[in-house]
Structure formats: structure tokens, C-alpha cells
Amino acid sequence: MKRLRELRGQFRFYLDDEKRFSPHTVKNYISDIDQFIEFTGRIFPQGIEIQAIDVTALRGYLGFLHSRGLNKRSVMRKLASLKSFFRFLVREGHLSRNPAKILHSPRLAKTIPRVMSEEEAGILIESPGTVPRKETKNSPVASARDLALLEMLYATGLRASEIVSLRFENLFTADGIIRILGKGRKERIVPFGVSAGKALSSYLSVRGEGRKPADFIFLNLKGGPLTSRSLQRIVEKYGKELFMEKDPSPHTFRHSFATHLLSRGADLRTIQELLGHQSLSTTQKYTHIAAAELKKIYDSAHPRAKKQAHREKDDE
């Protein structure tokens, strides 16, 4: 086990230094590898050489994960971590072959992400200023912050981790742009509009002292940096107060941002750049979402869309 843990340490350094993954991503990878090492310790209490780990042992580990009731997405992530780990070991000469290479990930059922309509997005964004404060228990500072957060989420399509980590050195209010260091520490420039700019300025005017370039823009009520989980709770809170059918999340804003841009004529390459996707195929899922949304609008708005359906039903 000692040898495995030493190699795990080398892998962590590789993820940090060479791949330049975010601390959160590195933590997930290493957590998955640690779980596998713990499993091998139970199965081989006397220890096992790294060269002796074969596809049978790996399949046993996957069976163990399934027996614990993990969903397919979690198993897929852990398998991807293992594949990456063994690929690294082959690259570094610790193994001659990758035993995880032939393992196949479980297939996931295709799901369409939750997308708000433009009207829903507008109502949700404006809710910090319209919902009575006694119901939300918000201070004026919190209301201004929440409005700025919701405006910026919809205006930029940022991930939750990206918006809570925004610093003043990344904000260029005069130009209406922000600089983002996203997944893989890839830098991109994202614009924001007038509404988001006004909400942000209003929040900053009441936010308080401490605006050095390295300071975080969005703070919690104790003056510390906001976390992704806190952002999730803020978005859910307003969704519940508006009795939305499904609780929205920060990612709901990201999906809605992309879908609404596409439905209004933006091209996929532009949306890919704004979202920070490395692959265009990741962005292409929004064509299906936009098509479904457009079909809904068509069916509800076109004067003959439903008449044809009624006629077909009458002919049966």
C-alpha cells in the first residue's frame, strides 16, 4: 500500500503542476484514488504490487461501488479518475500497460437540463427587490448582493465556482467585461450587460470597505467570501418564494443563458467561448434544448398549431 500511496502523491503533483487543475478538481481525483487504495487494502491485507493490479481487481472495485448504491454518474467519475491515474503510471514508466483501459463506463440516460423561460428568468432575477424583506430576512446589503448575483449569473452564464471566486482584479466595469480563469485554468473574457452592471454597482456602493484587487467581490453577511453552497441556497431561496415548479440552481442560469442566446441567433462557437467549454460537442446539447423551447413557444403561439392536433384527434 505504501507504494500505491507514493504514486498517488506523484499523481497529485502532476494534476496540480502540469495539468493545472483547480483545487476542487484535484481534491475529487485524489479522493477517488484514496477510495480505491482503501478497497485494495481490504481485499489484499498483505499488500499488492501495482503491477499485479489487473482488470479483474478493477471490476471487483466497480462491483463494490455498485453494491454501495452509488448512482451511475458517481461510478463514471470514479472510473474516469482511475483511468487517468493508471494512464499517468504508464506514462511515467511505473506500468507497461493500463489495466483500466478496457473498462467501459456505464451508460447514462440522456436528460435535458432544466431551463427557465425568459419571463421566469426575469421574475427570478428581480425577486430580491420585490419579495418583502420580512419574508427573506434580508438586510439591504444582502438584497443588493443577491440581485447582483442573479443578474450576473444570467448575464454571463458563469459556473457557481467561477462567480463566487470573482475578484476586483478580474472586473472591468467601464468595459462591461470580466476575466475568468475556468476549468483547466483556461482564461476567457465574458461580457455583461447594462442591467447586470447597474445591479453590481448598487451592491458595491453598500458592500463596505476592502476592495483591493485581490479581494473577493461577493461576500457573505460576515464579510467572508461567498461559497458555492451559499450561492446555491440563495438561488433556491428565491425560487421557493416564487413557488417555481422546480427549484432553480446556479447551473439553471447557465443553461438558460446558453439556450436563450442560441434561440436569439447566437452561434455555437460564440456560446462555447462564453461558457468556457473545451469541446464544441459539450455546447451542442443546447441545440436540443433550444429546439424544445421553441417548439413549446410555437405550439402555444401559432394559431394553427393546435387546430391540426385537434383535427387529427377527431379523425381517429
Known active-site residue 260: no
- Amino acid identity at 267: D
- Give the active site residue among 237, 255, 260, 277: 277
159 is catalytic: yes
Domain 118-250 sits in CATH at 1.10.443.10
Higher-confidence position of 82 and 185:
82
Cα R_g (the chain), whole angstroms: 24
Q: What is the pLDDT of residue 25?
A: 85
**In 3D, which of 166, 165, 161 has the Cα closest to residue 177?**
166
> 19-28, 102-111, 124-133, 138-147: which range is least confident on average?
102-111
Mean pLDDT of the chain: 82
- The pLDDT score that the predictor gives to residue 281 is 67
What is the C-alpha to C-alpha distance for residues 63 and 60, in angstroms, rounded to an integer? Answer: 5
Residue 315 pLDDT exceeds 50: no
**Which entry of 159, 237, 255, 260 is annotated as an active-site residue?**
159
Tens of pLDDT, residue by residue over 96-133, are 888 888 777 666 555 556 788 888 899 999 998 765 55
Is residue 24 part of the annotated active site? The answer reads: no
- Catalytic-role residue among 12, 183, 188, 285: 183
pLDDT value at residue 311: 45
The residue annotated as part of the active site, out of 14, 154, 238, 286, is 286
Which band of pLDDT confidence, cut at 50, 70 and 90, is reported for residue 312? very low
How does strand 171-172 pair with strand 177-181?
Answer: antiparallel
Query: CB neighbours (10 Å) of residue 15?
Result: 21
pLDDT in tens, 166-192: 999 999 999 999 999 877 677 889 999
17 against 201, higher pLDDT: 201
Does the pLDDT at position 26 exceed 70?
yes
Domain ranges of the chain: 2-91, 118-250
Does 277 participate in catalysis according to the annotation?
Answer: yes
Q: Which of 12, 77, 251, 285 is catalytic?
A: 251
pLDDT for residue 30: 93
pLDDT digits (tens, 9 = 90+) for 37-55: 888 888 887 777 788 888 8
CATH classification of 2-91 is 2.60.40, yes or no? no
Distances (CA, A) of 270 to 133, 225, 294: 39, 31, 20
The pTM score is 0.61
pLDDT (mean) for 22-39: 89
| Helix H or strand E segment including 189 | strand 187-191
The answer to whether the CB of 100 falls within 8 A of the CB of 57 is no
Mean pLDDT of 257-284: 81
What pLDDT is attached to residue 283? 65
Active-site entry in 78, 207, 237, 254: 254
Percent with pLDDT over 90 in the chain: 33
Question: Could you say which DSSP state residue 186 is in?
Answer: -
Q: Is the dihedral of CA 74, 165, 176, 129 positive or negative?
A: positive
Nearest to 198 by CA among 262, 125, 252, 254: 125
Domain 2-91 and domain 118-250 have a common topology: no
Annotated catalytic residue 87:
no
Average pLDDT, stretch 61-73?
84
